[in-house]
Amino acid sequence: MTVDQPHLNVLLSRPIGPADGFPYVVRYQNVAVVEPAASLSIGSHQHAHYEIILVERGPYRCHVNDEQIDLPGSGLVVLKPGDWHDDSGEPPLRYHALSFRIIPGPSAERSANIFIDESAPASQVIAGDVTQFLGLFARLQDENRRADAFSAFMLDALVLELLWTLLRVLPAPIIHPALMVTIARHGFAADLMRLFSRSLATTLDLGQMAAAMSMSKRSLTTRCAETFQTSPAKLLVRYKMER
């Protein structure tokens, strides 16, 4: 007896890459929606954990470590552990403030810093369209209102999704070097997998792979050994077998 198999048009697998290298746990704390009826002024205070200010409509102004930030329309400000910060604005201002922790930090009272300590405040700002973040904040608020047995886990997962979305668009030089090593490894893996996907019907030797990756054969072999604990040729065979 034969069994008809459904025709598989698309298979979207987890990218082949190094072991996950984010050695932290993200913990949601709270999210607030601020829409003042009169002028707003919140004095300077220091952050021990993280806060993301998502401005849906301005004007919003603040100082981050004594540097002035102006968002007349929409935008986003990332506040990291140790940052000094104040807020001000007036109607029709509407913004969302998300607080979360990244643990373990240097102490129970302070989150781990996944950014460099000396990052310029302007590099922690996204000005303009923040539509992709508004959707994530809406999901956070919906899950908070749901408040069932799964909500705490969902909220932590949504904050982690938001964090990676932020890291994708923020300037790479402000991300902590230890974290950038992991990101770079995944970037190398993604580039290599794109090369493999274009070559499923052909045979690539080491020299062709190295040339396509703009590196020497020795460098490619070393990177594959460090990232995947195998050789480029064996990795290509594995990739084709999984497809």
The tens digit of pLDDT for each residue in 100-128 reads: 999 999 999 999 999 999 999 999 999 99
* 109 backbone φψ class: left, alpha, beta (φ>0; ψ -120 to 50): alpha
Q: Work out the percent of the chain whose per-residue pLDDT is above 70.
A: 91
Whole-number mean pLDDT of the chain?
Answer: 91
The answer to whether the peptide bond before residue 92 is cis (omega within 30 degrees of 0) is yes
The pLDDT, as a whole number, for residue 44 is 97
Give Cα separations from 162 to 155, 223, 225 (angstroms): 10, 30, 32
- pLDDT value at 6 more than 80: no
- pLDDT value at 224 more than 50: yes
Give Cα separations from 161 to 132, 157, 218 (angstroms): 11, 6, 36
Q: Tell me the sheet residues that pair with 46.
A: 84
- pLDDT value at 11 more than 80: no
- pLDDT value at 142 more than 80: yes
pLDDT tens profile 158-182: 999 999 999 999 999 999 998 888 8
pLDDT confidence bin for 26, thresholds 50/70/90: very high
- Claim: this prediction has a pTM higher than 0.85: no
Mention the CATH class of domain 25-174: mainly beta
- pLDDT value at 131 more than 50: yes
